[in-house]
Structure 1
Amino acid sequence: MASQRAPDHIAVPDHVSIYEHQAAQYDRLIECEDDKLELRHALSKLLQSEAYGRVAELGAGTGRLTRLVLQYAPRLAEYTACDASASMLRQLEANVRRDVKDGHYNSVRANMVRTVTAPHHRLPLAAGSVDLVLAGWTICYACSEEHEHQNNMLPSIMEEARRILRPGGRIVIWETLGTGVDAPAVLPALRGYIEAMEERYHFRHTILQTDFRFPNLHEAESLSDWFFGKEVLRMLRQEADGTVLLPSFTGMWIQE
């Protein structure tokens, strides 16, 4: 199959509208991600490397990372999930309740989570109050070159993340390296942001393969088209069992 060039933009429709009004459908999409479990394993390894008791997440969305941390952080005591969309946080809370019902973790763990409606650069958290700051697939929207008025947001976001972090704490950021492509690559609109992360803020990244596996072709086509656009549809691959695979790559940046 011919190599597919990464698109020149973040191929997402009006994400503000999606996150505010279509949280449940977005949640259906991300439930299909990480077929090889590379994200899950990388996060589990990170959480077990140190005693992270207090964790804050920026752009927590419907709880993709939140729910993994609840499963894998052995010394977790408090988790603050921040997002600008109250709708996404309501879905997160519903997902956590469902996880308890399904036996993924108990209610004691679930009660460690508090949700806060807040933007990345104005967090209602005390200085030095967390051990670990997480941000998955979210800072890109404030720093993409597609949004010229937001290009200077990264210093504000990093300053706020550092403010709430205890001395010796860690910041971890995940961003897309392409969906519906043969190989990982930084999207052109994110190059300035990623370069700043690595050169100015001293983050180093690991590449994860986070393919989507959909239960059937209809689900694959409808969810992929809806969120990523029609360009990715040609990269859908139906397997012998009827499931459908969409290649996807993610970078995991950890501050040195």
Structure 2
Amino acid sequence: MPNHDEIYAGEAGMYEQLVAREDRDHQIERTIRSLLPELAEVDAADIGAGTGRLTCMLAPHVRSVVAIDRAPAMLEVAKQRLEEAGMTNWTVRVGEHRQLPAADASVDLVTAGWTICYEASSNHPDWKLRLEAILREARRITRPGGLMIIFETFGTGCEQPSPPDFLTAYYRELEHAYGFDHRWIRTDMEFESAEEAARLCRFFFGDELADAVKAKGSPIVPECTGVWWKRL
């Protein structure tokens, strides 16, 4: 399996090539809109923002958005994308989930896409404490009644949910210990060719998925994504 920390630190451009192919049917934006239809007066924080997948989606619609990530290289790509889109209502800040560089009660929406999983997987013996600290920070920066939306993998290369074993305890904790609502959506990836699909999947997901994608010979890779949300 590729080392994601190394990718985030040094290969942000290639990572952006991959995520730009995700969600061919725009289910992520539709989901956010269904949970928070009125965005014009919303101040948002996108934690673990990466190259700006959610930040760039939100920026045209919200009053302001801050993208927070611990990898400066990823934020540089996000910054470039926002500038190229002509957006002016944004900031980027280097920071950690458990010590967010944002003021108390400063946002109405917190999004966290494919990121808390790195702290809350069962590979960490103290994952529950890490998750508790992350959610405490999210509550701290959110105004009363604000919304938190979490997106995580529910299976890449899968047409039906197949979450990784090392994340299922974290997902249960969100629902049963913290009271998050949950649904899953399809966020299939569509590449320019089957060859590109195999190449970029190998880069991030590893040989097993890439070999399956290559054998299938399709530019479309199915993907399931879990969504959790809660008013804080």
Normalised to the residue count of structure 1, the TM-score between the two structures is: 0.84
- The match for 2:16 among 11, 17, 27 is 27
CA RMSD of aligned residues (A): 1.6
Q: Deviation of residue 208 (structure 1)?
A: 0.9
Q: Deviation of residue 232 (structure 1)?
A: 1.4
Any idea what SS the aligned residue of 1:79 has? Answer: strand
In structure 2, the partner of 1:157 is: 134
Any idea what SS the aligned residue of 1:220 has? Answer: helix
> In structure 2, how many angstroms separate the alpha carbons of the residues matched to 1:149 and 1:255?
23
> In structure 1, how many angstroms separate the alpha carbons of the residues matched to 2:48 and 2:57?
15
- The match for 1:97 among 74, 78, 83 is 83
> In structure 2, how many angstroms separate the alpha carbons of the residues matched to 1:224 and 1:158?
31
> In structure 2, how many angstroms separate the alpha carbons of the residues matched to 1:82 and 1:17?
18
> In structure 2, how many angstroms separate the alpha carbons of the residues matched to 1:211 and 1:154?
28
Please state if 1:120 is matched with 2:97: yes
In structure 2, the partner of 1:174 is: 151
In structure 2, the partner of 1:232 is: 209
Q: Deviation of residue 218 (structure 1)?
A: 2.1
> In structure 2, how many angstroms separate the alpha carbons of the residues matched to 1:124 and 1:36?
33
Contact 1:66 1:81 in 2 (8 A): yes
Identity %: 35
Please state if 1:249 is matched with 2:229: no
For residues 115-147 of structure 1, the C-alpha deviation after alignment (integer angstroms, 9 at most, x for no partner) is: 010000101211111111110000000011123
What is the identity, as a one-letter code, of the residue corresponding to 1:53? V
Please state if 1:218 is matched with 2:207: no
What is the identity, as a one-letter code, of the residue corresponding to 1:249? C
Task: Describe the shift of the 1:21–1:183 C-alpha distance in structure 2 as closer, same or farther (beyond 3 A).
Answer: same
> In structure 2, how many angstroms separate the alpha carbons of the residues matched to 1:121 and 1:41?
28
Any idea what SS the aligned residue of 1:152 has? Answer: helix
Which 5+ residue runs of structure 1 have no aligned equivalent? 1-11, 101-109
> In structure 1, how many angstroms separate the alpha carbons of the residues matched to 2:108 and 2:126?
31
Contact 2:194 2:213 in 1 (8 A): no
What is the identity, as a one-letter code, of the residue corresponding to 1:131? D
Q: Deviation of residue 96 (structure 1)?
A: 1.2
> In structure 2, how many angstroms separate the alpha carbons of the residues matched to 1:20 and 1:254?
29
For residues 82-105 of structure 1, the C-alpha deviation after alignment (integer angstroms, 9 at most, x for no partner) is: 0000110000011112223xxxxx
Task: Describe the shift of the 1:52–1:196 C-alpha distance in structure 2 as closer, same or farther (beyond 3 A).
Answer: farther
Number of equivalences: 229
Contact 2:175 2:181 in 1 (8 A): yes
Normalised to the residue count of structure 2, the TM-score between the two structures is: 0.93
What is the identity, as a one-letter code, of the residue corresponding to 1:82? I
Task: Describe the shift of the 1:36–1:77 C-alpha distance in structure 2 as closer, same or farther (beyond 3 A).
Answer: closer
Task: Describe the shift of the 1:181–1:235 C-alpha distance in structure 2 as closer, same or farther (beyond 3 A).
Answer: farther
Any idea what SS the aligned residue of 2:15 has? Answer: helix
In structure 1, the partner of 2:178 is: 201
Which 5+ residue runs of structure 2 have no aligned equivalent? none
In structure 2, the partner of 1:15 is: 4
What is the identity, as a one-letter code, of the residue corresponding to 2:76? R
Any idea what SS the aligned residue of 1:115 has? Answer: strand
In structure 2, the partner of 1:135 is: 112
Q: Deviation of residue 207 (structure 1)?
A: 1.0
Any idea what SS the aligned residue of 2:37 has? Answer: helix
Task: Describe the shift of the 1:121–1:23 C-alpha distance in structure 2 as closer, same or farther (beyond 3 A).
Answer: same
